[in-house]
Chain A
Amino acid sequence: MNLEIVEIISHYHLAEFNLDFARIAPSIPFILTGLVITLKFTLISAFFGFLWGTILSLFKISSLKPLYWFGLAYTSVFRGTPLLVQLSLIYFATPQLTGYNISGFEAGVITFSLNSGAYISEVIRAGILAIDKGQTEAAMSLGVTYRPMMIDVILPQAIKNILPALVNESIALLKDSALVSTIGAQDLLRRAQIVGAEKYVYFEPLLMVAVIYYLMVMILTVSSTILENRLRRSS
């Protein structure tokens, strides 16, 4: 292509978009504080989601019918309704029902833990069912009772197998966490919007947080790949 034309085009584009990060530079620390909140939010939700998902998965393989049906119905409801609806319900219904003035962050953690618990329980359930029945029988034949058998024998093997799926779940959680900006939590996205509204520049702060989200997802993806390879080598 002709050099002259390239120059004209790029000049035209620059003039059109007029990216100006200098104007938001003073607000960058403000936005980065949102990153801390987003990460905290994701970590706490992933932690409780994992615990709750483990318990739910045990319900779903339980021979106790009430537990089994509860696990099934629970999963069905949480997977069958939009996350944003669940989030709004908990945020707006909690004060109305209990009088407790719940913060956006708290409502977010509760919703995301309950929601990812449903998804994670499916993953763990599949992981448990994939473990050879012989493992259970070997443990039982040694007189090991259900609880230690699950904790020491079955779950460690199941979780090792489903680790990639669990990382994927955390990635989804991280990205979905942007939804809490709709209920006033001061996360990464919300802060970018605030800066945009103050300075009348929307593109730069939003582009910046998009890049941050992407980088975080990439870090998780790459570490999961490394972990996976290491696990594969060890087994």
Chain B
Amino acid sequence: MSDNSDNNVAIRIDSLVKSFGSLQVLKEISTEIKRGEVVAMIGPSGSGKSTFLRCLNLLEMPTSGKIYIDGIEITNPKTDVMKMRQNVGMVFQHFHLFPHMTVLRNIMYAPMKVKQISEEKARQKASELLARVGLAEKANVYPSKLSGGQKQRVAIARALAMEPDIMLFDEPTSALDPEMVKEVLDVMKGVTESGMTMAVVTHEMGFAREVADRILFLDGGCIAEDATPDEFFTSPKSDRAKQFLEKIL
């Protein structure tokens, strides 16, 4: 533990830079996310939201800068990345369920393999989670038989099964038919109520406004605005944010 172990801070990001070749996608981003805080990240396409999120569990390796999770610098090559990832769940736009496993197996797999939890316990936990996302009756079905909304709810249950303290969502409803968006957002709302620290990239402004504690508006690889939902949606400070809101609201 270092002097960065402020107990209220779940994630600290310090001058994060990410480049793909000569393209600098994230430009010295620094911020903190508090424990239990729900942060919505919004911004125009290509502004670096996904890249930012994916740096937080090192699916993308930052070019420079430091990221601390629970006070531990995960960008340090000596840090056990797999251990860190057990504590940081991620939900993807396109679900990425394991197609050759049943819904229940999808959820049981990582706890059994990674945490060495017994099959019995894993099954019980998975069933509870399935009930929690409203899909108890789909336990023995293969993912291909589910609707998009159902797939995403299973994906959320799969991530929750590792009992992470932090959850990352990358546009979890963008690939869904409109009538399925609500069921997924409702599940996510449920997750926020458990005190989970959440970073959510989303285009659902209603959700961001209602559920998030804080909005990060990204533009051109920088945090152009960091505000409460009320401030951001009623009186955005930057011109870019104003333009962005005009376009989508």
Closest residue to A157 on the B side, CB-wise? B100
Which residues A140-182 have CB closer than 8 A to chain B?
140-145, 148, 152-153, 156-157, 160
Number of interface residues of B (CB under 8 A): 25
Q: Are B99 and A137 in contact (CB under 8 A)?
A: no
A contact residues around B78 at 8 Å (CB):
none
With known contacts A137-B59, A235-B144, A142–B96 Cβ distance under 8 A: no
Q: B227: CB under 8 A from chain A?
A: no
Q: Are A141 and B113 in contact (CB under 8 A)?
A: no
Q: Are A141 and B57 in contact (CB under 8 A)?
A: yes
Q: B159: CB under 8 A from chain A?
A: yes
Q: B82: CB under 8 A from chain A?
A: yes
B contact residues around A139 at 8 Å (CB):
98, 110
Q: Are A156 and B114 in contact (CB under 8 A)?
A: no
Q: Are A142 and B94 in contact (CB under 8 A)?
A: no
Q: B152: CB under 8 A from chain A?
A: no
The answer for the CA separation of A144 and B144 in the assembled complex, in Å, is 23
Q: B207: CB under 8 A from chain A?
A: no
Q: Are B99 and A141 in contact (CB under 8 A)?
A: no
Q: Are B85 and A141 in contact (CB under 8 A)?
A: yes
Q: Are B110 and A140 in contact (CB under 8 A)?
A: no
Q: Are B82 and A143 in contact (CB under 8 A)?
A: yes
The answer for the CA separation of A134 and B94 in the assembled complex, in Å, is 8
Which residues A96-144 have CB closer than 8 A to chain B?
132, 134-135, 137-144
- Report which residue of B83, B89, B90, B100 has the largest number of chain A beta carbons within 10 angstroms of its beta carbon: B100
B contact residues around A134 at 8 Å (CB):
92, 94, 96
CB B155 to nearest CB in A, in angstroms, measures 8
Closest residue to B59 on the A side, CB-wise? A137
CB A117 to nearest CB in B, in angstroms, measures 25
Q: Are A137 and B83 in contact (CB under 8 A)?
A: no
Q: Are B59 and A143 in contact (CB under 8 A)?
A: no
Closest residue to B82 on the A side, CB-wise? A143
CB A143 to nearest CB in B, in angstroms, measures 4
CB A96 to nearest CB in B, in angstroms, measures 48
A contact residues, range: 10 to 19
Q: Are B100 and A142 in contact (CB under 8 A)?
A: no
Q: Out of B83, B88, B97, B113, name the residue touching A144 (CB < 8 Å).
A: B113
Q: Out of B82, B92, B113, name the residue touching A138 (CB < 8 Å).
A: B92
- Report which residue of B83, B97, B109 has the largest number of chain A beta carbons within 10 angstroms of its beta carbon: B109
Q: B11: CB under 8 A from chain A?
A: no
CB B164 to nearest CB in A, in angstroms, measures 9
Q: Are B162 and A142 in contact (CB under 8 A)?
A: yes
With known contacts A148-B113, A152-B113, A141–B59 Cβ distance under 8 A: yes
- Report which residue of A132, A134, A142, A235 has the largest number of chain B beta carbons within 10 angstroms of its beta carbon: A142
CB B59 to nearest CB in A, in angstroms, measures 6
B contact residues around A235 at 8 Å (CB):
99, 144
Q: B158: CB under 8 A from chain A?
A: yes
Pairs A–B under 8 Å by Cβ, sample size 19: A135-B96, A138-B92, A138-B98, A138-B155, A140-B59, A141-B57, A141-B59, A141-B90, A141-B159, A142-B89, A142-B109, A142-B110, A142-B114, A142-B158, A143-B114, A144-B82, A145-B82, A153-B98, A160-B100
Q: What 10 additional pairs, Cβ within 8 angstroms, besides A137-B90, A138-B98, A141-B59?
A: A135-B96, A141-B88, A141-B159, A142-B89, A142-B158, A143-B83, A143-B110, A143-B162, A148-B113, A157-B100
